[in-house]
């Protein structure tokens, strides 16, 4: 039986790419005999109602970036709805982690025939996050990127990262992982379900979004010039070998620091302190088997 689909569309994602991707993927699905309908999302606050409008026999497809996927994650998890992702944002890092195709024709075929995986998410208060929670130099970088309206998309994240590294102060963090507290002076803490953020930065290279754990990265204080020189390492995922970086794993992470705003999947979350808890197998997602998937980066 051919699957049916309800496309939830952020038309503004990727500078307007969302509307185009929705049209192309929708047409490709219909050409393969699928029943498809589309709903334009008016904003994050409407996510619950949009997911609730998805019928039992429909796959809910988030058409947008990481923020769009996170905006529907809580409702999808609560209702047990199967989720598809049509990447069309600036970063698409969660789709990258799951090796979800980006070509509309390939994606349509996969949405129809692909298997369903159980994937973890992150709970923060009453919110659900799919990728990562972070607080420090990278949350400042996200703030800067969100304000870049005239900078070409390919330059936004590298430029935001460089500007943030040059200005974010050394900060005292208290990080508690499964009840064990650490205090350190540094630049950021990342609690990662997915290994990628910032449009392809492989910040947590060993993160597995189906292992029931969060990878927690602590970036200690060091030379700013050295950090900037080492930025390419973050894209390759080789940065964790540096001595100023500590990687921990756990099910619950509390991050505390004065005057620092936490972000999640590119969007503001809350001022610290925040507590992030893994939600094992919370999401049913059409995604490749990690044992056979080839990266779509």
Whole-angstrom distance, CA of residue 188 vs CA of residue 201: 15
Containing structural domain, residue 26: 4-114
- Res 295: pLDDT: 42
Structure tokens at 185: 């002076």
| 230, pLDDT greater than 70 | yes
Q: How confident is the model at residue 1 (pLDDT cuts 50, 70, 90)?
A: low
- pLDDT for res 153: 67
Beta bridge partners of 219: 188, 245
Comparing CA positions, the residue from 57, 10, 7, 54 lying closest to residue 28 is 7
CA dist 93 → 22, 96, 116, 220, 266 (Å): 18, 5, 19, 24, 10
The answer as to whether 215 is a domain residue is yes
Question: Which range among 162-166, 181-185, 234-238, 251-255 shows the weakest confidence by mean pLDDT?
Answer: 162-166
Q: HEC string of 182-243?
A: EEEEEEEEEEECCCCECCCECCCCCCCCCCCCEEEEEEECCCHHHHHHCHHHHHHCCHHHCC
Specify whether 271 is located in the same domain as 163.
yes
**pLDDT, tens digit (0-9, with 9 covering 90-100), for 19-57:** 999 999 999 999 999 999 999 987 777 788 889 999 989
Residues 214, 273 share a domain: yes
- Residue 287 inside a domain? The answer is no
Residue 257 has pLDDT above 90, yes or no: yes
pLDDT (0 to 100) of residue 293: 59
Q: Quick check: 171 pLDDT over 50?
A: yes
Q: Is residue 270 assigned to a domain?
A: yes
Q: Do residues 294 and 99 lie in contact, with contact meaning Cβ atoms separated by under 8 Å?
A: yes
Average pLDDT over the chain, rounded to whole?
91
Residues 221, 105, single domain; the answer is no
Q: Do 247 and 180 belong together in one domain?
A: yes
pLDDT at 264 over 80: yes
Cα angle vertex 122, ends 47, 230, to 5°?
110
Phi, psi of 4 (to 5 degrees): -110, 155
Handedness of CA 127, 194, 161, 246 (dihedral sign): positive
Query: What are 85's strand-pairing partners?
Result: 62
d(CA 125, CA 48): 16
152: domain CATH number is 2.60.200.40
Q: For residue range 140-149, what is the model confidence (pLDDT) as tens digits?
A: 999 998 887 7
The whole-model pTM stands at 0.91
Q: Is there a domain that residue 34 lies in?
A: yes
Residue 162 lies in a domain: yes
Give a yes or no: residue 119 inside a domain. Answer: no
Distance separating alpha carbons of residues 256 and 271, to the nearest angstrom:
9
- Using alpha carbons only, what angle is made at residue 273 by residues 268 and 277, rounded to the nearest 5 degrees? 80
Q: What is the mean pLDDT of residues 117-123?
A: 97
Q: What percent of the chain has pLDDT over 70?
A: 97
CATH number at residue 47: 3.40.50.10330
Nearest residue to 84 (alpha-carbon basis) of 19, 3, 16, 23: 3
Into how many domains does the chain fold?
Answer: 2
Q: Is residue 121 part of a domain?
A: no
Q: Give the per-residue pLDDT at 201.
A: 92
As a whole number of angstroms, the distance between CA 65 and CA 13 comes to 6
Say whether both 273 and 133 belong to one domain: yes
| Residue 225, pLDDT score | 81
Dist CA 192 CA 93 (whole Å): 12
- Reported as a single tens digit per residue, the pLDDT across 159-168 is 888 888 888 9
In whole angstroms, give the CA distance from residue 138 to residue 197: 10
Alpha helices in the chain (DSSP H): 13-31, 47-52, 66-79, 93-97, 104-113, 137-146, 153-167, 224-229, 231-236
Contact 222, 188 (CB under 8 A): no
Q: Report the pLDDT value the prediction gives residue 51, as an integer from 0 to 100.
A: 92
Q: pLDDT tens for residues 173-222?
A: 999 999 999 999 999 999 999 999 988 999 999 999 999 999 999 999 88
pLDDT band of 296, cuts 50, 70, 90:
very low
Could you give the count of Cα atoms lying within 13 Å of 89 in the half-sphere of its Cβ?
27
pLDDT tops 50 at residue 297: no
């Amino acid at each position: 039986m051919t699957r049916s689909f309800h496309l939830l569309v952020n038309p503004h994602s990727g500078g307007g790419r969302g509307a185009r991707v929705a049209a192309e993927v929708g047409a490709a699905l219909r050409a393969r005999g699928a029943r498809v309908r589309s709903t334009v999302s008016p904003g994050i606050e409407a996510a619950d109602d949009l997911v609730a409008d998805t019928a039992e026999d429909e796959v809910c497809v988030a058409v947008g970036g990481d923020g769009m996927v996170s905006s529907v994650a809580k409702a999808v998890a609560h209702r047990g709805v199967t989720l598809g992702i049509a990447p069309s944002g600036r970063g698409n890092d969660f789709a990258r982690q799951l090796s979800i195709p980006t070509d509309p024709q390939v994606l349509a075929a996969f949405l129809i025939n692909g298997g369903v995986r159980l994937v973890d998410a992150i709970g923060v208060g009453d919110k659900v996050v799919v990728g990562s929670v972070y607080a420090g130099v990278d949350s400042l970088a996200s703030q800067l990127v969100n304000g870049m309206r005239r900078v070409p998309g390919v330059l936004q994240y590298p430029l935001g990262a460089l500007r943030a590294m040059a200005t974010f102060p050394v900060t005292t963090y208290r990080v508690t992982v499964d009840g064990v507290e650490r205090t350190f002076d540094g630049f950021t803490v990342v609690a990662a379900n997915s290994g990628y953020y910032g449009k392809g930065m492989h910040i947590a290279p060993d993160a597995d979004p189906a292992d029931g754990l969060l990878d927690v990265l602590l970036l200690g204080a060091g030379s700013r010039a050295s950090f900037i020189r080492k930025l390419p390492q973050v894209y390759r995922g080789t940065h964790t070998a540096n001595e100023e970086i500590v990687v921990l794993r756990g099910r619950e992470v509390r991050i505390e620091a004065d005057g620092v705003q936490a972000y999640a999947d590119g969007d503001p979350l809350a001022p610290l302190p925040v507590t992030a808890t893994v939600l094992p197998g919370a999401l049913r997602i059409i995604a490749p088997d990690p044992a056979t998937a080839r990266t779509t980066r």
